[in-house]
Amino acid sequence: MHFFDSHAHLSSTEVLPLIDAVVIRAKSCGVSRMLNICTNLETLQNGFKLAERFPEIFNAGATTPHDVETEGEAMFPLFVDAARKKKLVAIGETGLDYYYKELNPEVQKRFLKMYLHLALECKLPVIFHCREAFADLFAVADAEYAKGAPAILHCFTGRVQEAEEVLKRGWYLSLSGIATFKKSEALREVAKMTPLSQLLIETDTPYLAPQSKRGRQNEPSFLPETARIIASAKGLSVEEVAKATFENASKLFTVVK
């Protein structure tokens, strides 16, 4: 049984010093592939080094909506270069976050459009971050992103209605350790309704450790707990969830080394 952690910040300052032990523990738990999310110059450069050292690790990159006002202009050309040189298997995480009221929505939308166009140019999937901004995200994507082009709603925490909008566009819905929390019944309903063919699982390392590890720094080796909870919600075996999400991610990110 193999798992694919479809979203982890492995080159972050919290995880990078521990990376050898983190990868060993991941592999011991069956997590044999991991997508590292690069969000700035340091994580991008370190992500390249990780991909060279570990055949299990692949890279995606973009400036997050939280940081586009301060870092977007400087970083965008670097992510363009990395994508065009085929050093990335996805563009993201990019998107919209209206939870923090001090962030400028129009700046976020401008960079979202730029990253959508880059993904189309390089024929790469887009990884969306979206919080309290689903209507605007769908509107921008419908206008700027080709119908049927691949996308992932990472760490989905929306409602059933929003999940339906994701799925009807043919996008993938990725669930994190939040789905294991005691009060996440609504998210487990989303897990139940999501077809296996459009499902991914992730840790969002080092954030959002699953229920039994709450309070600890998250890591890919914790992914099987999320898979077990999702399997239970769907009335399936863990093996079925692991197989489907592994195959979905492998195909989506065209991971070949």
127 lies in a domain? yes
Output the pTM of the full model: 0.96
pLDDT of residue 57: 98
Integer Cα distance of 68 and 1 in angstroms: 39
DSSP state of 159: -
Summarised one tens digit per residue, pLDDT across range 77-131 is 999 999 999 999 999 999 999 998 889 999 999 999 999 999 999 999 999 999 9
55 lies in a domain? yes
What's the domain count of the chain? 1
2: helix, strand or coil? coil
Residue numbers of the chain with a pLDDT score lower than 50:
256-257
Kindly report the number of other CB atoms within 10 A of residue 43's CB atom: 22
214 lies in a domain? yes
pLDDT of residue 257: 39
218 lies in a domain? yes
Distance of CA 191 to CAs 86, 121, 158, Å?
32, 32, 11
257 lies in a domain? no
- CATH number of the domain that 248 lies in? 3.20.20.140
pLDDT of residue 255: 55
User: Judging by DSSP bridges, how do beta strands 172-175 and 151-153 pair with one another?
Assistant: parallel
What residues make up the domain containing 219?
3-252
Q: Where are the alpha helices (DSSP H) in 54-175?
A: 68-84, 105-122, 134-144, 160-168
Q: Which helix (H) or strand (E) holds 50?
A: helix 41-53
pLDDT of residue 100: 86
243 lies in a domain? yes
